[in-house]
Structure 1
Amino acid sequence: MSDVFDPKSILERLHRDYRQRAEAIRGDLARPHDTDAVERAGERQNDEVLQALLAEAEAGMRQVERACQRLVEGRYGICRRCGRPIEPARLAALPVAELCLHCAGLEP
């Protein structure tokens, strides 16, 4: 087992996970609804939760896509605010990080 941080494979896996999650949620949202009014009301509530989860998955995919673009451009792991390297532990924990710990603490 290698301890080498490989951002490309990690980002690819994250993107695949978000994409699969989004596809599963879209499938759930496409299911037919019950004709019973009480059941429909519960299903609408469930749909609202699913819509929020879908939005989170899609936002995650966009973050990963931006991180992949930074990787291609040679800017991955460089803080977009101060230009210093992002801490390796931060990237390991949050591979899509755009800010170093210091600058992330400055975000409102």
Structure 2
Amino acid sequence: MTDYSDLSDRLRTRLNDLLERAEIIEDDLRHPLEADSSEQAVDLADDEALEGVDEILRAEIVQIRYALQRIENGTYGVCSSCGKEIARARLEARPIATRCIDCAD
């Protein structure tokens, strides 16, 4: 079994960073709208952009959790399409990869 502890550490660090950022965004989205209608329009536009960023963060959080689960159960580094080993260099470049470079096309 290959040792992926370094990649696990990187994934956990990234996960913690994303969770903190998502919490900040969610806190910002909970703020009440300004009384001024022009300010409300700006707030709504900002909120829409933040919701998009939050959605992207949440998707990456799910992918990282899935990668960490695969490390724990011993299936990390195995292509989900063909079953071959995913090259270490690919995993270092993209630790959430689930497919080898040949199947990633």
TM-score by length of 1: 0.88
2:70 aligned residue = 70
CA distance in 2, matches of 1:24, 1:89: 33
Match of 1:97, SS?
coil
2:101 aligned residue = 101
Any stretches of 5+ residues in structure 2 without a counterpart? none
Contact 1:5 1:92 in 2 (8 A): no
Q: Deviations over 1:53-97 (max 9, x none)?
A: 111111111001100111011011111001111121211111110
Match of 2:104, SS?
helix
Q: Please, what is the CA RMSD of the aligned residues?
A: 1.4
Letter in 2 for 1:11: L
**Deviation of the 1:5 alpha carbon:** 6.8
CA distance in 2, matches of 1:83, 1:14: 27
Q: Report % sequence identity.
A: 36
TM-score by length of 2: 0.91
Query: How many residues get paired?
Result: 102
CA distance in 2, matches of 1:102, 1:18: 29
Match of 1:104, SS?
coil
2:36 aligned residue = 36
- After TM superposition, the runs of 4+ consecutive aligned structure 1 residues lying more than 3 A away are none
